[in-house]
């Protein structure tokens, strides 16, 4: 009788996807979708050969302390700030993520969130629900900001940032961007985007969208100082990671109307949201759902499973992060 490798599925996934895994593996699953504490995660990783995890599972030296059999931790996410990659490499654990499969869905949502923010869509819905709409008015109904023929500033010009830029072209927007590394001439042309420094982008943009990965260097990339550079008519959208924006400074700026509005899909310490943001009408809030369509979430799970299966079969995973481990 063949012994199946043991794996951990750390968060709930679609039942049919779980059933397919159970054909090949002894699966320790978490369909109750409990968010493990650090100690619980360490215990669950003990004795398993592979793990499907999400951004809520921090894979670090503590988590790996007793994970002597662990070959791979496969993130069901494109971002991997929940991974201590050096610690994983030192422990001989492959780290993978799910790039590409969520690019268009996330870019769609980023653009939709920017539109909702600029045009005050959620504020207008609440306005109706609270019984304030008693007549149509030229000046007294909620007035928003245009997108067409305005300047779109994108900070972080990876696949998703480029996708947002291309959508902006359809609205006749002037697209500028800032990135750690400038794009090639061909990619800039495809996006219709011009490279500028961060300060210029903040001063000139009518709409700023953040799509940068989280790291110690990008923590509070946008704080009070940066918001002060923006136009009072500008909007700020964050679909990247919580912690890139200083949420307390943003709440203060929105309250004082130093910028027009903000759209946030991610938050510092999520799922907790800064209480001052919850009091404001000029912010659109979403619960980290930029990739949340069934088609895309299934594609993310499928790629994570492909990574896991490859690693446990002694093959190189399709989206290996710590490639130096494979070379060894």
> Which residues form the catalytic set?
241, 270, 288
Nearest one of 328, 268, 323 to 85, comparing CA atoms: 323
Q: For residue 114, what are the CA distances in angstroms to 13, 32, 149, 238, 293?
A: 29, 34, 14, 9, 18
Q: Which residues pair with 27 in a beta bridge?
A: 7
Those residues whose C-beta lies under 8 Å from the C-beta of residue 261, and which sit 6 or more positions away, are: 117, 118, 120, 145, 235, 236, 254, 282, 283, 284
Long-range contacts of 30-36 (CB under 8 A, 24+ apart): 35/11, 36/10
CA dihedral 107, 113, 119, 124 (to 10 degrees): 150
Nearest one of 78, 12, 14, 9 to 288, comparing CA atoms: 78
Those residues whose C-beta lies under 8 Å from the C-beta of residue 85, and which sit 6 or more positions away, are: 95, 321, 322
In which residue are the tokens 């793990």 written?
A: 51
Most distant CA atoms of the chain, gap in Å: 76
Q: For residue 120, what are the CA distances in angstroms to 128, 231, 235, 251, 263?
A: 12, 17, 11, 17, 10
Question: Can you tell me the distance from the alpha carbon of 237 to that of 248, in angstroms, rounded to the nearest whole number?
Answer: 15
Question: Can you tell me the distance from the alpha carbon of 311 to that of 48, in angstroms, rounded to the nearest whole number?
Answer: 13
């Amino acid at each position: 009788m063949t012994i199946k490798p043991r794996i951990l599925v750390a968060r709930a996934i679609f039942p049919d996807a779980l059933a397919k895994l159970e054909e090949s593996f002894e699966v320790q699953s978490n369909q109750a979708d409990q968010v493990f504490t650090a100690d619980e995660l360490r215990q669950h990783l003990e004795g398993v050969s592979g793990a499907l995890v999400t951004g809520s599972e921090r894979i670090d030296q503590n988590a790996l302390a007793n994970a002597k059999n662990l070959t791979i931790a496969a993130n069901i996410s494109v971002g991997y700030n929940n991974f201590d990659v050096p610690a994983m490499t030192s422990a001989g654990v492959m780290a993978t993520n799910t790039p590409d499969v969520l690019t268009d869905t996330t870019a769609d949502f980023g653009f939709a969130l920017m539109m909702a923010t600029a045009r005050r869509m959620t504020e207008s819905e609440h306005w109706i629900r609270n019984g304030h709409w008693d007549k149509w008015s030229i000046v007294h109904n909620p007035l928003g900001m245009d997108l067409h023929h305005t300047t779109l500033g994108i900070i972080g010009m990876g696949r998703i940032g480029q996708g947002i830029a291309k959508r902006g072209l359809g609205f006749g927007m002037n697209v500028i961007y800032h990135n750690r590394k400038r794009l090639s001439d061909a990619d800039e042309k495809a996006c219709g985007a011009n490279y500028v420094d961060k300060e210029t982008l903040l001063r000139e943009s009518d709409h700023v969208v953040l799509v940068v990965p989280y790291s110690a260097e990008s923590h509070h990339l946008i704080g009070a100082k940066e918001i002060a550079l923006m136009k009072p008519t500008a909007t700020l959208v964050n679909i990247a990671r919580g912690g890139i924006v200083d949420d307390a400074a943003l709440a203060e700026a929105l309250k004082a109307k130093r910028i027009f509005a903000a759209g946030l899909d991610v938050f510092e310490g999520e799922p907790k949201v800064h209480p001052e943001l919850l009091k404001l009408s000029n912010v659109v809030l979403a619960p980290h759902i930029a990739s949340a369509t069934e088609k895309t979430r299934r594609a993310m799970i499928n790629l994570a499973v492909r990574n896991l299966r490859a690693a446990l079969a002694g093959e190189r995973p399709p989206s290996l992060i710590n490639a130096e481990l494979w070379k060894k």
